[in-house]
Structure 1
Amino acid sequence: MPLYEYDKDYPFAAFVTNLGKYNEGELVGEWVKFPTTADELRTVFDRIGIGQKDDFGCPYEEWFITDYDCYVDGLYDKLGEYANLDELNYLASKLDNMDKCEYNQFCAAMEVGDHTSSLQDIINLTENLDCYDVYPNIDDHEDLGRYYIEELDMMQVPEHLKDYIDYEAYGRDIAIEEGGNFTEFGYVRDTGDRFYEEYDGNPENIPEEYRVKAYELDEEKLSEADRVDMATDIAYDLDDFFRQHDPQYAAQRPEPQEQKELIADLLLEGKTAVLREMLEQLAEVGDDILPGRISEFELETGYDPTQDNSLLEDRARFYERPEQPDDHLTGERVQTPRGSFSLTDLTKEQMQAAGYGVHHESDDRKYLIMGNGTRAFAVLREPEHEKDNPLKNAEMSMEDDYGMIDGIINNGSREETKEKPSIRERLAEAKRECSERTPPEKAREGRSAPEHNDR
């Protein structure tokens, strides 16, 4: 067993709290040192009221952790209020079984930060300490350079030249090449060994000797049909609420029935965190009923927050991720006076959807340089086609001189043109007029001939 901070004989303790009492305004809990046993934890649950009934006859069945006392460097911030008790006990037992050297390796790896994002990662880290070398008392680049030359004989230096060696520069090059880090426990480097995942994150697969399941509810759970009905009702109301108050949701999910089924599936799978997040984002429009109904469903179906990974895996099922330029690089680069930019085959509109705006263009005007404030890419500028004149077809059918060809639109009023008679019709009309005329009187001398009248 290693010696923990402050000479403690356990790695951490958790203040296990009755959640039902807490929601009623009463803090009822007790400190539990880990590792522990199922019997010890069952006794604690009895003392804090887990399993006892409230004033309405409903049992207090849920607990959470309100605080930790942690004596392992870097571990406190990794432990959450809904951490699984079996996982906590598994980790504490692993730490207790380490010798001093292994424990220092573990603490150094924790400080480096590799494989420390979750309890699952940290448990697996305890099984992969051979992936790290730790050189104690190596605190800076100069120490590292001297250690490699003088202790590891990485370089043969004559005695009379040792005072002329830049150990700091040599140590800096080593750290860069190895990707090493200086920690409170010394210099840490990755050995290059493969990191194996011994624990898959499912508490049911924790070896029985580390499990501390202390309390199982004996009450009758909802039938499968009742669970489906309850989930379906909530899903319909959630989908309607999101469509009314979130334009992005409605635009990206035009099929209500399909989305309602998706929400119901998430509820039945115990993945409610993403639904709660969406409701929190719309909190300004105000809805206190839907979060309560989700809580009621969780209570009725035995929700386990430690198994809810919907924030990581299911958020994209609600909001589509825009195409990203990194996924569509052509391998070419475009040079402009302001720098060299990777070419992507996304369009200008796709780049704008991904949050990029036009910054400048290439000298030949073939490419646009689009950025988002931190990064920039080149996109092919689309050719500017001459816009069709919306009056073209109308003018083609209305005008006889196609005046639009010279750029002038002539759509004014036009005089009515009568149809001209044929030659045959004009000859017939002339004969008719002649037959209707009366013969003229013989003209007298000194008088001019009279004008002809129609009749």
Structure 2
Amino acid sequence: MPNDTLNYPLSERALGLAREIDALMQKVDPHYHDSVKDSAANVREFAAIIEYGSITKMEILLRCLADDGKGYSLRAAELAGRVAGFPDTFTIYQLKDGDALHYHRFEPLERLQANGLTVERANYDFIYESPLAEGETLDSIYERFNLNHPEDYRGHSLSISDIVWLHKDGADHAYYVDRFGFAEVPQFVEQEKARLNPLETAEKSTEQNYNMIDGIINNQEQAAFQVGADRFLAVQTCDDGYDYTLYDGQYRLLDGGQLDAPALTMGAATLEILSGYGLEREPMAPVDYDGLDEKQAEVQAQFLPQLVEKPSVHERLQENRGRAAAEPHKARPHKDVPERS
């Protein structure tokens, strides 16, 4: 580590954690204390590594993580997690430009939700990130980015509908700047982590779906699910495998067919069907099969009159002519024509 790094200001939190690590190292390695000439300097070096990430943060705990039979591995793992949480940071997000987000911009959260709108990570741009100073709070961040923001800050003054993300003690929390104070929006964190690691999120979602299906329906001959926010799937066994029907959120028919795979369980067949539509990673919830069938029948009955073909103009003319031919001929009323003089 460069010597000048040791001259950087160190937070009491980093120094405190460094002292805990130093104490643990002494317990784990009997020769550690003898090899360290200046314990105070060593603590500062540890603190600088933690505070400024001069080397891989976990390297300072590698010797601790090997349990030597004295039962210190859990303590080392706990400290490793705390080290991984450094440095504490805050991040500012603001709504993207454009008319599409007009009804989101500068709206209090309560009004936003009353209008059927939600806080979505996809609507926001990353604006600014900085280390979180010791003692810094949401209120002090709000004040600084309204009255005296840093020179390298390019966003507008912190306002309603902005997001402040705090990474502190290894945990992440996102807050909506509201009319009065801040409101936590945990879905923002979930969406950002899913965006940064889509493969892990997709694998987790697929695994959850499989476990849910496997535990509920493998011994049934028919099953139905809500898939995502706006799809329904009905599946039933048949001689050659499985028949299935896919509906939209209003129970209208989207597609259907047959999966010729009788060897598959109901759960595996359901996921195979969904994968054909790219829906296998969507969240799923079981619904009543007969209830879904009844709702679809109601929708079909509602739209059936609209599907009855109306007679064409030509057909109506032919019908009128036939009706006229069948009626007895009636003489037109005689009109008196004035005599010419």
Taking structure 2 as the reference length, the TM-score comes to 0.30
More strand by share: 2
TM-score by length of 1: 0.25
Which structure has more relative contact order (CA 8 Å, sep 6+)? It is 2
